Amino acid sequence: MPASPARVAAFKVLLRVEREAAYADELLHSVLLDQLSPADRGLATEIVMGVLRWRSALDVMFAGLIPGQLRKLDLEVLTALRMGAYQMAFLSRVPAHAVVNETVELVKQAKKRSAAGLVNAVMRKLQPNRAAVPSPPAADANQLAASYSHPEWLVDRWVAYFGFDRALQICQYDQQVPATAIRLSSADDEAELRKEGFQLAPGALMKNARRVVAGDMTASALLRSGRIAIQDEGSQLVAALVGEGRRILDCCAAPGGKTAALATRLPDAEIIAADLHPHRARLLRQMAPQANVQVIAADALHLPLTAHFDRVLADVPCSGTGTLARNPEIKWRLTPDDLQDLQSRQIAILSAAMDRVATGGRLVYSTCSLEPEENEQVVAACLRSHAGFELIPAKDELLRLRAAGELVWPDIETLVHGNFLRTIPGVHPCDGFFAAVLQKQ
């Protein structure tokens, strides 16, 4: 019998993630899954994200059973084995014989019949090791990386920078399915969502956030209308840091969550939202449909604007190491050299953004990275080259947000690192964000 639709879809997504450097979350909401039932869609999502979260640990499960090196296997064969190993170890409700048969069928359907015998033999040998999940980590970075399926070089950095306990919390958070958070536009939104059958809990950081306890938020009519948005609470907090202004520039705005948050919060402000790529600018328009938002497709380094702005948001392209729970494929692509390349781009974008700030105005620089090269070091470099800017302590702004009732997190000190905002996955109930507030004198 052919492989099930859910596994075929998961197989296609994983192949595209590897071959095209695509993002799994985007593919899982694409036409590849349109024909699946809700149950099959859920299974495909579970397999894809599970394989990406636990990839190195899965490889260890069957590496000793393969003659030669894993990298010599065809990608289709390696992907099928990873899917099978994940189901064997983590999906106890799926019968072992079904996992074996499905894995072999995937290889056959991928026109790799010559490998079917090998895959069958490997999968049958894995059966006695069902639920062979990683063991708890010992107190060293290499074992932590192995136990929680992260690259050693990345965990080494986190242990050195955050300490072992924080690095452990980050790794543990990355391996779990993160909560779905939404941003409400009005008090009526929550009542309407409950009528639609959703179960919601209060946000942990932000007053206007809710956590989805039950229900598929992508099916919500309110979401499709743009009245609410799926947005991590850390992202909502960064948008709130921008404060109030009459003219606002969001210079790297796609996909548009922060732009939409600004537009909802400041309905009388004129907001210009830019993104380099036209297709992302179109997505931005969908995510931020408010009338006070003007979307342009333009390079942040060469914006076709002469005006200066009261508030500027530079939420720059980054490594995304603060979002590995949602985007686990990043950890297998990123290299140490990438951080220096990203830093050069980030310094250029922040410098250009600083040139757009009006006298007395403010700029928020932000990333979803945990790495100092993309955060503190970028801010320091730009402050050295731009006289007339000062760094505003993030704690002052967080206290302002709490006094206004927007921020509900009780322990502001944990959100602050020096003069900066920093959320840490596992320490805070959100992705990892960094933000700096700069004011032009």
Instruction: Output the pLDDT for position 10.
Output: 96
Instruction: Output the pLDDT for position 136.
Output: 60
| CA 201 – CA 392 distance, rounded (Å) | 33
Over residues 86-129, the pLDDT tens digits come to 999 998 888 888 999 999 999 999 888 888 999 999 999 887 66
| CA 93 – CA 164 distance, rounded (Å) | 35
Contact between residue 321 and residue 432 where contact means Cβ atoms under 8 Å apart: yes
Helices (H), 288-393: 330-333, 336-354, 376-385
Q: How many CA atoms lie within 13 Å of 95's alpha carbon, on the beta-carbon side?
A: 3
Instruction: Output the pLDDT for position 137.
Output: 62
Contact between residue 211 and residue 202 where contact means Cβ atoms under 8 Å apart: yes
* pTM exceeds cut of 0.85: yes
- The distance from CA 65 to its chain's CA centroid, rounded to whole angstroms, is 34
Res 68 pLDDT > 80: no
Of 202, 166, 155, 197, nearest to 182 by C-alpha is: 202
Average pLDDT over residues 71-81: 92
Instruction: Output the pLDDT for position 12.
Output: 95
Average pLDDT over residues 20-30: 89
Buried residues in 370-398 as b, exposed as e (16+ CB within 10 A)? bbbbbbbebbebbbeeeeebeebebbebb
Of 129, 157, 132, 128, nearest to 142 by C-alpha is: 157
Q: How confident is the model at residue 310 (pLDDT cuts 50, 70, 90)?
A: very high
Over residues 219-259, the pLDDT tens digits come to 787 877 777 888 999 999 999 999 998 999 999 988 888 88
What mean pLDDT, rounded, does the chain reach? 90
Average pLDDT over residues 326-336: 96
Radius of gyration of the chain (CA): 23
Three-state secondary structure readout of 205-267 = CECCEEEEEECCHHHCHHHHHCCCEECCHHHHHHHHHCCCCCEEEECCCCCCHHHHHHHHHCC
